[in-house]
Structure 1
Amino acid sequence: MSDFEGLKALVTGGASGIGRATADLLAERGAQVAVLDLDPSSVDKPLLALAADVGDDVSVRTAVAEAAETLGGLDVLVNNAGIGAQGTVEDNDDAEWRRVFEVNVLGMVRAARAALPHLRRSRHAAIVNTCSIAATAGLPRRALYSATKGAVYSLTLAMAADHVREGIRVNCVNPGTVDTPWVGRLLDAAPDPAAERAALEARQPTGRLVSAAEVAGAIAYLAGPLSGATTGTALAVDGGMQGLRLRPAAR
């Protein structure tokens, strides 16, 4: 496919996991792609690697400006950078709540704010935010993480309304549990990693974790010119976790 031919894309948190899978896919489909990450040392050409901290406004503005200048504009922003958090409302102090909101919510605000002047000059402008099934389903021990993703979901809808008449589409993807390095670290830290992986797989009706490539495919769909009538939409990539209610398997 070459539906992104001639388009310029920027992916935050693009050095690994969902972000890297997305950057690679967009490049394969014809886009020129810049990757923003705290550590972009693993990012090779044809991707443009830029170091940036979404928790710092100056860092984001500088990197976005460099990406737009080097690529010759911006058509697509993939707001993917984020961090995880575990626990109930009792388990994280105020400083941790602020830290995770700074990255997961304000990080998207900073990237979008810096990219919007460039996106307004595009005929195929799109923003795709990486949200989560945690925004729409109650998950145990994910209070802080879920709160940030609920904010991302609402932010996506508000941004879609704000910018639709400027020709800028805004959507989000809601992945289930994705087999990424972050999830791998969680599993490694569990008392019984094998049992924890089995539990995560079992809560998705497909019986397996979502792959980063599957989420990247959904992001590319929402970002692409062929989805010009799609805005203000949350696309679940969760193995049926949100919508399906299966009966227990027969024994």
Structure 2
Amino acid sequence: MTEELPAKKKKFGYARGNYSVLVVCQNGSRSNQIRQALKTLGFAQISAAPTHVTALERFKVRKFSHVIFESSATDMPPLDFVMQLMEMDENCCLIAVSEQPRVDDVFGLLRAGSRHYLVVPFTVNSLEEVLTEAIEGAPLSEAVLNAPDRNSALVGVILNNLYRQTVLMRQAREFETAARELTAQTAKMIQSVDMAKLFCEGTEEDLLNEIIEACIARANIAASRLGRTRKRLQNKRVVDEDAAA
């Protein structure tokens, strides 16, 4: 009996034969490795370009569903490459390739339209995971991409997902529909934490401190609301008692 694949990988697997991929890499050996890995994963329509400018020229002649590109400059800066390609086709799925990616550089490419990045050296499995997330995963929200304080925005996403998680956990005790939604929400919660750890500014400890401060701030807001509600009820009781006297 074959092992049941997650729905995300199933959907990705069914469509592989329909995808067309352009590999943009100046290093011939690395380009060959990426293309061979793509073939192993079931991709059939694969082309290569040695530089970013060549890739743009090729894209004008033929559209590709995916572009896996070198994140270091060849004959043009990679950020300019992403922006120009997005102008040609905003639906194209771009994946950056880098040996030692700087988070800020990667984040700039994501802000411009890239969907994910591949760290080399890579394996066929790691390439598959990146492709799956790029194709099926939820991209970072505009609020996070354009936030002046990235950590604060990432923490906001985590805590919002945590709140939805706890609500569904409570509702799942009574309603079957909530139990089904809980599985998807759990995956979303885990993904938001992973993305925050990946793209946070500073260290993971800085991110943890931001989470703690945000929790304290939200607790203070909740306490203030509770206090105002309690005071309002107490005043209402006094008025009701006076009216009854």
Q: TM-score, normalised by structure 1?
A: 0.31
TM value normalised by structure 2? 0.31
Normalized per residue, the structure richer in helix is 2
Task: Choose between structure 1 and 2 for higher RCO, CA contacts under 8 A separated by at least 6 residues.
Answer: 1
Structure whose alpha-carbon radius of gyration is higher: 2
